[in-house]
Structure formats: structure tokens, C-alpha cells
Amino acid sequence: MIKVIVLGSGAAIPTKSRNCASIAIQYNGEILLFDCGEGTQRQLIKAGKSIMKITKIFITHLHGDHIFGIPGLFHSMSLMHREKPIDVYGPKGVQKFIDFITSEENFFHKTFDINVHEIEGEKATVCETDMYRVEALKVDHSIPTYAYAFIERDRPGKFLVSKAIELGIPRGKLWGKLQRGKAVKLSDGRVITPDMVLGPPRRGKKIVYTGDTRFTEALIDFAKEADLLIHDSTFDESLSEKAREYFHSTCTEAAEIAKRANVKKLMLIHVSNRYEKNPGILVEQAKKIFENTILAKDLMVIELK
């Protein structure tokens, strides 16, 4: 199961109800952090998540509301004697930022290694493991900015109990191995392969987080068939000119991307403080284009099974 935790749903200035930008993806015992605005580590505490579980941080761009939580986060990790390395991904300039905040004469003594990966080009696969990969796409903001797609690898199909019984496979560890996609050998010498007891492979989940961006056609293909699209929705439809001027999107532009990309669910995020009293207008407008739309709220959790 994948958990998507909204740590910060607001825009450049935090409000009483919205922290600055940050999304956490909890998967298979690790936490992947996407952006780290001011106050992110406290949001993690509120969400009941350990900062020591963070293995990777993906920065969309170097505006303060997306990165000012990193110094405090790394400071706390060092005070807690972290030794496990952490990977940081982001546009050109992120290495310089990390070097500055972790230089001993500036802030604190670092107890762990930080591996920085600067992204170049329009599109790239920036991280791959046996269980998932993360892709980056350059989007349209006032400084170099990348959207990210977390793509889970396809999972083994459903375990067919009737087939296992029919083949005389004893219950227990052998069933578990087959469910994990491994062949097993029975006491009578027969070799049972996973395809003999599993249904069709199950498509892995896909989550796309745009960061800050204008309406960008390239996002349609990038977000294609995503289970969850988390899209910049700084403004409502009536402020489309202002959205373009400030390199952001409206809620209806986010909905248009969701519709054309055929995603399953759209989450509106990076909500301007002008909507503090009436955020519902963003969802109302977006739903006219894409029905399965929700408004991000701090500490909201979405589970993808």
C-alpha cells in the first residue's frame, strides 16, 4: 500500500490552516519527500511519521516556500545521530544550496552523507529501485522547475489459492515465495513457477506532483493514466491572467490536464491565502471539468492499494 501524506497544501505564505509546500509518499518502509517548505518536519511529527524514515528528497525548484524546511530537517536528523545517507534531487543550484546549509561554520555539524543529484534536460528518470522509479519533467515556472512522477513497478497478480491446492503446494512459506514472484521446488522434485498460481500482473500505481507551473501541455502525457495527480491550483478561473503572469495554474487548468490525461483522481494544491475563507470555490470550478477532484488539506492522507 502507498500512502500520500499532504504536509503542506498552501502557497508562498503559510496560513493558520495551510503549511508551505510538501508531499510525503510512504512506501515499503521508506518516506520520499517532495518539496520541503518551512515547518515540514513539524508536520511530519503531527502526521506521526519519523523524519529518520526519509530516504530521498525531491525538490521541484529553489523558491523559498519549497526548500526552507530542509535546514531544520537536516539539523534535527544530525541531532538524532543519523548515519544513513540521504539522496536529494532537484534542478541545477540544489548542490550549492545543500553545500551552504550543511557547511559546519554556518549552521550545524552534519552526521550523515547527502548525495545530491542535479537534474538536466527536459525529461529524465532520476531514480530507480527494484520497486519503483521516479521521473522528472521540466515545467513552466519563473525559474527552472521539475514535476515528478512516482511510478510503482507492476506487482505480481492475485494468488490463486485453488490452483495452489490443485498442484499440491503445501500452505506456508512456499505460498509466500510464489506470491512474491519466486519459483519454488516441491519435495517430489517438481518446480512451480509463479505464473502457474498467479493471475495477470497488477499495474503499479502512479502519482504525479507538478510543483509550481503554468498550464503545460507536456504534463498531459507525463500524467497519463495516473492514479493521483497533485497539481498547482494557486488561482481560480477568474484570475487566469494573474496565474499566467506569476507562472502558476488555475484550478480549471489543473482539471483540464486531469481530464485529458485520463487520471483517476485530481488533488488541487498550492492554494493561495486569498482563498483561506472560501477554498471551496476551487473545487467547484474544477469539478465542472473533472468530477473526481479534491482539495488538498494539511495532514490529509490518500491510500492507494
Active site (catalytic) residues: 65
Instruction: For cell 483540464, name the residue.
Output: 256
Q: 51 by DSSP, 3-state: which?
A: helix
Angle at 243 between CA 240 and CA 245, to 5 degrees: 110
Q: Please report the beta strands in 28-162, taking only residues with DSSP state E, as ranges in sequence order.
A: 30-34, 54-58, 86-91, 114-119, 123-128, 132-138, 146-152
What grid cell was written down for 231? 497539481
End-to-end Cα spacing for the chain? 5
Please name which of 151, 255, 254, 146 lies closest in space to residue 207, comparing C-alpha atoms. 151
In whole angstroms, give the CA distance from residue 234 to residue 214. 10
Closest among 70, 52, 56 to 8, alpha carbons compared: 70
What is the rounded distance in angstroms from the CA atom of residue 77 to the CA atom of residue 113?
A: 11
For residue 121, give the DSSP letter.
S
What is the sign, positive or negative, of the torsion defined by CA atoms of 202, 228, 64, 214?
A: positive
Instruction: Kindly report the backbone phi and psi dihedral angles of residue 298, in degrees, each rounded to the nearest multiple of 5, phi listed first.
Output: -55, 135
